[in-house]
Amino acid sequence: MILRPAGFVTAAIMVAVGLPTPASADRPITIQEALLRVTPAVVLVAAEVSSEVTLDCGAGPIKITPPVFRETGTGWFIDEHGWLMTNGHVVQPAYEPPRWLANQQAQRAVTTACLPGVLKRMGLQPGDRPDAEDAAKRRLLDTVLPTTKVNLQPRVFVVTARGRLEAEVKKYSPPVNEMSGRDLALLKVPGDNYPVLTLADSRAVQIGDPVHIIGFPGVVISHELLNQSGMIDSSVTNGAISGFKQDKNNNTVIQTDAPASWGNSGGPAVDDRGRVVGLLTFVSLAPGPEGSIVQGFNFVIPSAAVTDFVRDTPVKLDGASRFNE
């Protein structure tokens, strides 16, 4: 099986996160209410890389703009002053664009700009002779790619009820498949008074405790029969804590059977009171080059690791938020 990377001061605030107060002690908060109070703080996160490719098909240099590369995940506000948590692998394509991405964009540009002319000179229409077209494409890439230049323009943004906001990566730890990676990223967006989530003590959770994963699974936001409301309305899946494991870097991760999908990465896993037990880091894939997700075996970074990660930053973990109040 392959693994993949995917306090309070006022009574009003205590009520907002389900903590007992004199006014609420007689009315325990329901799971439904807890989740409704949590979801405003959960947002879609996108790493986007646009590019400008300069190439020469034989008639002089031209510039091509291939389709934007974009990957999405989930984040959540940890401090009302615009601080968010997500996974390192969610923002990685924009934070440190991989070499393969530049090569992929270059190949797309060359194929788009140069291949139609080559096929025309051969007296072919696209699709007429796939074998001849593939051979022509390989020769074209061998000839044009060495002199092709790619200018990547990465950015990270989040989609909230306030609209699309540019985000800055303030602290980053790479995915688990890299040495010492903890797969965490701290983002900052402009503005204040955002809804926030509070952290549970992940050291106190036990096998069998209920857990709810909140996020923006790609199968929902890209569903052909749904409208774009999926980009601001998160989905909730439910399960329980099913184990405690260690990743390949010997860091503790929490196993859960709550369903998850690509796009859920970075999303909070909360308890029945809406407190963050941790955030989803990777799911499990069936063997094979395009293995499907094996549900029931998903893994969460404990909230204790989040606390350690933001310790040397301006983030305040007091849960204070005028929105919550």
Write the pLDDT tens digit of every residue in 56-107: 998 899 999 999 999 999 999 999 999 999 999 999 999 999 889 999 999 9
d(CA 283, CA 246): 14
Q: Which residues pair with 47 in a beta bridge?
A: 71, 156
**Maximum pairwise Cα distance, the chain:** 83
Judged by phi (left if over 0) then psi (alpha if -120 to 50, else beta), residue 246 lies in beta
Please, are residues 251 and 305 in contact by the beta-carbon 8 Å criterion? yes
The mean pLDDT value for 148-165 works out to 93
Indicate the range of 23-32, 145-154, 235-244 predicted with least confidence.
Answer: 23-32
Please, are residues 13 and 80 in contact by the beta-carbon 8 Å criterion? no
Structure tokens at 6: 């995917």
The contacts of residue 11 (CB under 8 Å, 6+ apart) are: 21, 22, 23
Indicate the range of 41-50, 79-88, 204-213, 281-290 predicted with least confidence.
Answer: 281-290
> DSSP letters along 248-279, please?
TTS-EEEEE-S---TT-TT-EEE-TTS-EEEE
**For residue 66, which of 180, 151, 162 has the smallest C-alpha distance?**
151
Query: Does pLDDT of 148 surpass 70?
Result: yes
**Which pLDDT belongs to residue 288?**
64
